Structure 1
Amino acid sequence: MSGCYRVCVTGGSGYVAASLVKTLLQNGHIVHTTLRNLDDESKVGILKSLPNATTNLVLFEADIYKPHQFEAAITGTHFVFHLATPLRHTHGSQYENTTEASVTATKMIAKFCVESGTVRRLIYTASMVSMSPMKEDGSGFKEFVDESCWTPLNLSYPFSDSFLQEYLESKTRTEKELLKFGESEESERLEVVSLVCGLVVGESPHPSSILSTMVTFSQFIDESELFKYFRFLEELEGKVTLIHINDVCDAHIFCMEQSSIDGRFLCASSFLSSSDIVNYYRLHHPQLKQKHGVSEEVPHRNINMNSNKLIERGFIYKYDGDMILEDAFRCCKNQIS
């Protein structure tokens, strides 16, 4: 399947979404994208400045907490990329928490895709927080992290807090509900794809891109909260899955261009521990000073990543672990004190 399409990207001002919108525009597609607030000139301005935005970009106002608003952006499109996710709960809303808001909105977005009569495929950007290889009883890890893994929601994870716990539950339950919808008669001819992305590294049009990259590099930065998030991921996954922003965008477009594809796909090219990362930088950038020196305390875990499902479909990752870490270093040089 090739050619130029009319597509929808929800949550267009986010880190991955802004990069995806940019890539789609560069490839000549017509892009509908949503923002919570069209009066937020800082976010609107970034999107309007992208290549081909003047002719090929259409902005819509839509909020996860007002899911009916997404219908206008979806109408008339061929593919929908659902990236919008609530990070903070809107108190006073009809929803109890971000999980309920996310699940409700995502199911409604899927129904709008079916009702449109034009949308062929809904591609959801999932997170590795939903794919922990932790055993259900919390006694240890499975041998592989792959598409068969689902994060046990009955456990508490080291370095977690109320925000991370809510995010983990929201992303896990939303992905499960969407895949369940994709297998139901209600989905009719709509194909549903879930791309479970590792920790994303690399520059994006969105200024927040540096934060995600800094998590990867956090052992060398005086930012304890970022390092805490890295350790949370390491304890959740056994190691940390990594993916470059360019590969993330390419994987989304790859899933759009397939003649037929559905189901769950792990999207990550590297699986590294905190020790692996420290050893790389010690070898290639010995001038760096480690700010958080607990990597030696993390036990060696014999867990492997199997992301072959996407590769077997024909997708090729362009960035390996060394390239990702090198790009993280380049992006974070100004943050080193």
Structure 2
Amino acid sequence: MEKSKCKVCVTGGADDRSKVDFLKSFPDADTRLVLFEADIYEPNKTEASIAAAKSIVMSCVRSRSVKRLIYTASVVSSSPLNEDGSGFKDYIDETCWTPLNLSFAYTNSNLTILSYGTNSDIGELEMVTLALGVVGGDTLLSYTPLSLAMFISPLTNGEFTYQALRFLEELLGKLPIVHIDDVCEAHIFCMEQPSISGRFLCANSYVSSAEMANYYQQNYPELHVKQEYLNGPKREIKWGNTKLIKKGFEYKYDTKMILDDCINCARKNGDLPSPDNN
């Protein structure tokens, strides 16, 4: 990518001053980074968010110079739930779509499902949707991202973040997880392909919250996992995200590496005590 002459536009990367300063700290940002202020209506309203996404797509089409649009989405839209909510399919892959208007044991008011498929209106523009699992690993940010807080919630007893984790588990059967480094590499991979389009799930592991908690208990006993976090539903659902792999993408981080990096990052940020403090 350092040798590439193409221009890449990233939206939603500068929501506040701290994120703008972070972007400006990148190597060669003084000559290669250009920031624009854009108004996408009121992003807290679903209708406005959908309209904004469609507006971006059509702007790319009208430009006649944009080759590919990569939409970073979430596997929240890819639940293997049956349409009537009676149970789960025995697999989860890119053919799964979350049924609408269903209630769940754990609620999350921020659930938004946005799908904008390839159609004749977008002409030759290549559309790629990367539906990310729960993103873990390290962070260069000065604060702990929500997804990382969800990973360590069985250790911090954070009620909101643990409820968010359980909500995803009830929605998706288990938890698709992925390392931030693999997320970045997946985006670069999709940018560098001669031609690519379609919907891809991006995660390298599919575990339950109880499996995560048990891993913490076995490998970090000094952090004291509550007994209630060690038990949970056991669902035999297969993770079938092979589309990216079939395209040639290789994940570098497995479950152990993802969870270990979450612990190390949380300790670095002061969210969990270091081994020396126990």
Q: Quick one: distance in 1 between partners of 2:236 and 2:212? A: 16
TM-superposed CA distance for 1:63, in Å, is 2.7
Q: Structure 1-normalised TM-score?
A: 0.76
TM-score normalised according to structure 2 size:
0.92
For 1:28-47, list aligned pairs within 5 A.
35=15, 40-47=16-23
Gaps of 5+ in 1: 14-34, 67-85, 90-97
Whole-Å separation in 2 of the counterparts to 1:208 and 1:152:
34
| Superposed displacement of residue 223, structure 1 | 1.1
Structure 1 pair 197/300, CA: closer, same or farther in 2 (3 Å)? same
Q: Deviations over 1:126-168 (max 9, x none)?
A: 111111111111111111110011111120122114x23xxx3
Paired residues, number: 270
The answer as to whether partners of 1:203 and 1:209 remain within 8 angstroms in 2 is no
2:72 corresponds to which residue?
Answer: 125
Which of 182, 191, 198 is the matching residue for 1:263? 198
**Aligned partner (choices 302, 309, 319) of residue 253 of structure 2:** 319
Q: Determine which structure has greater relative contact order: mean sequence separation of CA pairs < 8 Å that are 6+ residues apart, divided by chain length.
A: 2
**In the alignment, residue 259 of structure 2 is paired with which amino acid?**
L
Return the offset for 1:209: 4.2
Q: For the structure 1 residues 188 and 45, does the alpha-carbon distance in structure 2 shift closer, same or farther, using more than 3 Å as the test?
A: same
- Structure 2 Cα separation of the partners of residues 335 and 208 of structure 1: 10
Asked if 1:11 corresponds to 2:12, the answer is: yes
Is the CA contact 2:79–2:92 (under 8 Å) kept in the aligned structure 1?
yes
Separation (CA, whole Å) in 2 of partners of 1:213 and 1:292: 21
Unaligned stretches of 5+ residues in structure 2: 274-278
The letter for the 2-side match of 1:264 is R
1:3-152 equivalent positions in 2, closer than 5 A? 3-13=4-14, 35=15, 40-65=16-41, 86=43, 89=44, 98-152=45-99
Match of 1:336 among 243, 260, 272: 272
Q: Deviations over 1:148-204 (max 9, x none)?
A: 11111120122114x23xxx3x3x2x2x2x21xx2x221110010100000011233
Residues 3/47 of structure 1: CA separation in 2 closer, same or farther (3 Å cut) = closer
In the TM superposition, residue 292 of structure 1 has moved relative to its aligned partner by 6.6
Distance in 2, matches of 1:336 and 1:206, equals: 17
Q: Summarize the alignment of residues 151-300 of structure 1 with structure 2, pairs less than 5 Å apart.
A: 151-161=98-108, 163-164=109-110, 168=111, 170=112, 172=113, 174=114, 176=115, 178-179=116-117, 182=118, 184-291=119-226, 293-296=228-231, 298-300=232-234
Residue type at the aligned position of 2:233:
P
Which residue type is aligned with residue 200 of structure 1?
A: V
The 2-side partners of 1:197 and 1:120 are apart by 22
Compute the displacement of 1:42 (Å). 2.6
Q: Which moved more, 1:277-286 or 1:304-313?
A: 277-286
Are the equivalent residues in 1 in contact too, given 2:216–2:225 (CA < 8 A)?
Answer: no
1:206 Cα deviation from its structure 2 partner: 3.2
| Matched-pair contact (CA < 8 Å) for 2:144–2:266 | no
Task: Give the distance between the partners of 1:220 and 1:41, measured in 2 at CA.
Answer: 30
| CA distance in structure 1 between the partners assigned to 2:95 and 2:200 by the alignment | 10
Question: Does the 8 Å contact 1:202/1:210 carry over to 2?
Answer: no
Change (3 A) 1:118 1:204: farther
In structure 2, C-alpha distance between the alignment counterparts of 1:336 and 1:315, rounded to whole Å: 33
Pair 1:232–1:335, CA change in 2 (3 A): same
- Contact conserved, 2:138 with 2:262, CA < 8 A, in 1? no
Amino acid at match of 1:213: L
Distance in 1 between residues matched to 2:143 and 2:79, nearest whole Å: 25
Q: Any conservation in 2 of the 1:195–1:267 contact (CA below 8 Å)? A: yes
Cα distance, 1:229 vs structure 2: 0.5
Instruction: Call closer, same or farther: CA 1:292–1:132 in 2, change over 3 Å.
Output: farther
Letter paired with 1:307: N
RMSD: 1.8
